[in-house]
Structure formats: structure tokens, C-alpha cells
Structure 1
Amino acid sequence: MAKISTGDAEKLSGAVAQYLAAFPGDTICVRQIWYEGLGGCGVPATEVMAAVHAVMDSLEDWQPAGSVRYEKYGLQFSFKKVK
């Protein structure tokens, strides 16, 4: 997926929703969405992480799951898909 700017909330929400629709798992963190779903690179700014987190908070089919350790991203606040 092409790199998406977090400055446009509508495009960001659409890109995150599109990535999550194809995501095979049921637990995900904001950092994983940033790198794998939005094509981010380097160290994401705090504002970027907050924007993606806000999108996740707004989605009805994903709920906060607390901290989860990922092999690639370390300990991250995560979201779990509601069945």
C-alpha cells in the first residue's frame, strides 16, 4: 500500500479500514498498522501514532486489548477484533 499522510483524517481512516479488512489476524498494534498497512518508514512521530490510534478508537469492530508483546515491535498497546 502506498504511504498515506496522517494529515487527512478521512483518507487515513479509509486506508486503515482497508488494511484491517484484509488483515488475517485478530490482534494488532498501531505501529504494525503504520509500517505494514500505511507504508510508513523510519521512526513514526508521536502525532502520527496518535492519529492512527484515534482511528482505531473510532472503529466499532476493534476494541482496546492492552499491552501485547510482538516479536517485531516489542511491547505495544494493541487492539483486538470483536467477533
Structure 2
Amino acid sequence: MRIAVITIDVSEVTEERSMHPLLMRELGFPGFYGMKWDAFWDGITALVRIPDHVRFPGWDQLVADVPRGAANASAGARQLPSRVPAGVCR
């Protein structure tokens, strides 16, 4: 059964390198996940099924503290609806 909504709390993320283990754990990426943005794209488009909606509590703080990481995650998520049936929301 497909999960409709998942919540990934990013309020405690203060640096980009701590985002990847969180995303890996919460999205169910495999152990060989490469912990970089190209690997994130591979993960969300080919390795796991993304729920219909992903909520990110703490997003505004993430944008302030880790702007590059937030921008990369957002860019990948915005491309999802055109690539796969699922979408991602804040």
C-alpha cells in the first residue's frame, strides 16, 4: 500500500551534510545512497516510491540556516510531478 503523506522534520538541520542521513532514513533510501544531491535525485526518481505529499516542518528555518541544501531539495521536489506520478509539498 502506498503511503499518502510523510513528514520529515528539518527543524534541527543546521548544516547541509546532516540533511542527507535524515532524507535517507525518512525516505527509505538504500544503504548505498551517495549522500549528495545527484544521489538524492536518483533516489526520488528511481530507488524509492515517494509518497503523494511530503511535509517538512521547520522548512523556513532550514532555508535560513542551510539555504543551498533547501534550494537543492526544493529543486528536486519541484521536478517530481513532471517525472513521476507523485508530488511533494512543503
Q: From the two aligned structures, give the one with the greater strand fraction.
A: 1
TM-score by length of 2: 0.38
Q: From the two aligned structures, give the one with the greater helix fraction.
A: 2
